[in-house]
Structure 1
Amino acid sequence: MSRIIGNLSQIGSEYEALFCDLWGCLHNGKQPYPAAVSALQDYRRQGGRVCLMTNAPRPKQYVIAQLERMGVPGDAWDLVVSSGDAAQDAMFAGAVGRRVWHIGTGKDDGFFDDIPADWADAPAVSRVSLEEAEGIVVTGPFDEENEVPEDYRGRLMQARERGLKLLCANPDVVVDMGETRIYCAGALAELYEDMGGESLYFGKPHPPIYERARRLMDLGDSARVLVVGDGIRTDVLGAQQEALDCLFVTGGLAAQAFGPDVENPDEELLREWLSAHQMTPKYSIGRLR
């Protein structure tokens, strides 16, 4: 059974670094959670290091800019690693070709236009129509507030018939933007796989993003790392696959499953829910604090 704790400080001293999720843990897409910010600041004051690990489909500089606009202070974290960083590397390496059909919004233009120094001399990647494409890059729906994955079935069927690979820059299926739940790139990638297409993933729970975080933080294989997150299929599964301890934030995506008090999950409801998902994070907490 996952041990329910009240504060990160109860276990923080056991770990030298955190891989902490953003949406649902540190902020809700619009504003930060003050208690979560304080918890990370306190953890760092005690000597711990914090990697904010996100499935955002944008390079880390755009994630950092968003955090600054929200008012998340810089002393709450040491490093940001995004799914967009890892996926961008794969794209410029040619994982889905050089002529790609992009599914996503204008806010993700930096994924294509802000070329990392390591890829400055690589052949150009151009965005073209589906009919001209050698592959697909998905950063999210065209209209994330109104569209659902089924809206893309016809176009994805055309892509599958041509054998195009799909690069998914954000494995999340859904996130909560304030009070609104929206679909992410992962939902389209899963649909494509269900239709018989091939999708490539680079964020949580897949290895590249963890390898990148370990390398940038200079963490050895024996480092004591705690994964913090609210996604059972991303954060918790990723921790399990990486053999890392996990602090499951119940007050995020699945908050309604654990009773009326989001800050204090019902122990029996949590046990049943985790059992149904065949997951056992070492710790659970209502909200990060």
Structure 2
Amino acid sequence: MPDMERLSFEEAWNGYLKWAHRLPPAPPPVTPRRISGIAEIISDFDAVILDNFGVLSLGPPVIPAGPPAYAAIRDAGAAIRVISNDGSKALSAMLESHRRRGYHFAEEEIYAGLSLLEEAARDAAGGLWAAIGLDPLPVPSGTFQARNWATDRFDLDEAAGLLLMDCLSFGRDDFRRVLESFRRYPRPVIVCNPDLTAPYTDAMSLEPGYLAHWLADEAGIEPLFLGKPFPEVYRRALRDLPHVPPERVLCVGDTLHTDVLGGRHLGMKTLLVETGFTRGQDPLALADESGIWPDFIASSI
């Protein structure tokens, strides 16, 4: 795992429960059906939305069942969309990472919260924004004037707003200075990655969504979330598939509060896999506690 601050499952899960009021409402319960993998049900769907971390990969390493499942979806002729909450890199870098793992997605098949950043910039305050992310910042040209506060600790009080993109080598202790500044001077906050955590091979990371909810609690600011489970990123990804009804779209993910909630909120079917956030947990107990129920559960995609 990279040099990131880690979260325990309990910290992340309790955060999702605590901050559920900022997410879409939980849909009506369903009774999940356990399946062997997506190949068992792919004939029932015309489009598939895939998460990356926890479904296709665990950071750099590929999940072994991923490439055969990807081939099964292609063979079935279903449209594929990848919706990731990754806010660390540009689309071209995402595509290259997938290709190294054996997934040959086209550019128009990949979406993230970053896909909505240019539109969000139209309504954003002018001036220099502080960003927390990786250099080079994947900010579309002509949108935000942004500087990476994770590597250049300039005066935060002068920033027009905050972009939360990625937390590599940036932890909760670092973020306390951000909290202090935004308590003094509340300003807009845009979150390109609403995840609280991401699953790696041997641990789980701290992600920008955790910091955003913490900031909202402390400073009374309601962030603008650009990724899952919020509906706009799904609408953007499916805008060229208007002929596919929601119930013929399958969303595959490893997290109830992002992948499952986001898909079911828009009337799509969902498959929860146990290779990421939910590994080692009882998915039915988690669904019962959160009120977020997937349509299908599988050990892996």
TM-score computed with the length of structure 1 as normaliser: 0.83
Equivalenced residues, count? 262
Q: CA deviation at 1:150?
A: 5.0
Aligned alpha-carbon RMSD (Å): 2.2
2:169 to 122, 143, 146: 143
Cα 1:185–1:191 shift into 2, 3 Å: same
Alignment correspondent of 2:131: 102
Alignment correspondent of 2:8: none
Q: Does 1:66 align with 2:66?
A: no
Cα 1:220–1:194 shift into 2, 3 Å: farther
Q: Deviation string for 1:171-212 (max 9, x for gaps)?
A: 011112332321111111111111122211010001121111
Cα 1:249–1:96 shift into 2, 3 Å: farther
Alignment correspondent of 1:162: 185
SS at match of 1:137: strand
Equivalent pair of 1:176/1:253 in contact (CA under 8 Å) = yes
Which contiguous aligned blocks of 4+ residues in structure 1 show a shift greater than 4 angstroms?
A: 75-78
SS at match of 1:256: coil
Instruction: State how 1:5-44 maps to structure 2 within 5 Å.
Output: 5-44=35-74
Q: CA deviation at 1:246?
A: 0.3
In structure 1, what residue type is equivalent to 2:256? I
Cα 1:78–1:105 shift into 2, 3 Å: closer
The more displaced of 217-226 and 57-66 is 217-226
SS at match of 2:138: helix
Matches of 2:132 and 2:165, distance apart in 1 = 6
SS at match of 1:203: coil
SS at match of 1:281: coil
Cα 1:75–1:111 shift into 2, 3 Å: closer
Q: CA deviation at 1:102?
A: 1.1
Q: Does 1:198 align with 2:261?
A: no
Q: CA deviation at 1:240?
A: 2.0
Gaps in structure 2 of 5+ consecutive residues: 1-30, 148-153
Q: Does 1:283 align with 2:293?
A: no
Matches of 1:214 and 1:200, distance apart in 2 = 21
SS at match of 1:236: helix
Matches of 2:67 and 2:185, distance apart in 1 = 47
Gaps in structure 1 of 5+ consecutive residues: 259-269
Equivalent pair of 1:24/1:251 in contact (CA under 8 Å) = yes
TM-score computed with the length of structure 2 as normaliser: 0.80
Q: CA deviation at 1:89?
A: 3.2
SS at match of 2:281: helix
SS at match of 2:261: helix
Equivalent pair of 1:140/1:183 in contact (CA under 8 Å) = no
Cα 1:96–1:189 shift into 2, 3 Å: farther
In structure 2, what residue type is equivalent to 1:61? S
Matches of 1:29 and 1:239, distance apart in 2 = 23
Matches of 1:272 and 1:142, distance apart in 2 = 31
Q: CA deviation at 1:160?
A: 3.0
Q: CA deviation at 1:152?
A: 1.4
Q: CA deviation at 1:40?
A: 1.6
2:287 to 274, 283, 287: 274
2:145 to 115, 121, 125: 125
Matches of 1:160 and 1:97, distance apart in 2 = 20
1:111 to 102, 114, 138: 138
Q: Does 1:183 align with 2:200?
A: no
Q: CA deviation at 1:155?
A: 2.2
Q: Does 1:173 align with 2:196?
A: yes
Higher relative contact order (CA 8 A, sep 6+): 2
SS at match of 1:34: coil
In structure 2, what residue type is equivalent to 1:20? L
